[in-house]
Amino acid sequence: MATADPHFAEPELLDRTDLDPQVRERALAGLSRVNRWLFGSTSILRTLVPLLAEVAGPVVAIDLGTGTGEMVERLRRPLARRGVDLSLVAVDRQIAHLAAGRRAGFGHLPVVADAAALPFREGTCDWAISTLFFHHFDGSANRAILKEMRRVSRRGLAVVDLRRNPLAGLLVRLLLPALGVCRITRHDGIVSVRRSWRLDDLRRLVRDWPDPQIRRRFPFRFSLVIRT
């Protein structure tokens, strides 16, 4: 299956395993700043809080490609107001990212694993989720990851990621330098927008799946929910 963009082959620098630890820390801090100032959590909260709060009480979620886990950590407070106690399993291939999340005091269970070959039994969690992770992969890889998300979840899977829009690339080029982030964060922000998915491509990717729910989300985001 085709990817969203021919620039897909260009790597994001934070995906490298050989970055200097101090450089990685600065880049992760810059990414956190970008997400705070550019509405990174808005679409995530609007998508995931209602899903995870469908049944009050304890909820287990597995978050794929979590990075430090900061984005999904923001789910705890609004879920607690709805009477939901969230247990979060944070999965990432980069142990350095998970370690940064632990140093920040995030209360998730870190697991180093490949999202396409999860070390969990069928039906381990209530929901399998991913946020700003989908654009890292082409169609065939995302199909494999979605299959794993369905396998390990009892209720379903939910994805929130970047939606293709010409204006997004222009805004990223203008705003990232203004936020004072490092070169790696600026580079990866531009590459992420280039890798973002058109909704038509996304619909074709999941057209044979049962009742995929695809929505536009602000700003320049989409959500994909598939219930099991």
What's the longest Cα–Cα distance across the chain? 45
The H or E element that residue 160 is part of is strand 153-162
pLDDT value for 1:
40
pLDDT value for 8:
56
Between CA 181 and CA 107 the distance in angstroms is: 26
pLDDT value for 2:
41
The pTM of this model reads 0.93
Q: Is the pLDDT of residue 7 over 80?
A: no
Between CA 5 and CA 194 the distance in angstroms is: 7
- Summarised one tens digit per residue, pLDDT across range 24-77 is 999 999 999 888 888 778 999 999 999 999 988 899 999 999 999 999 999 999
SS3 helix, strand, coil % of the chain, rounded to 5? Answer: 45, 25, 30
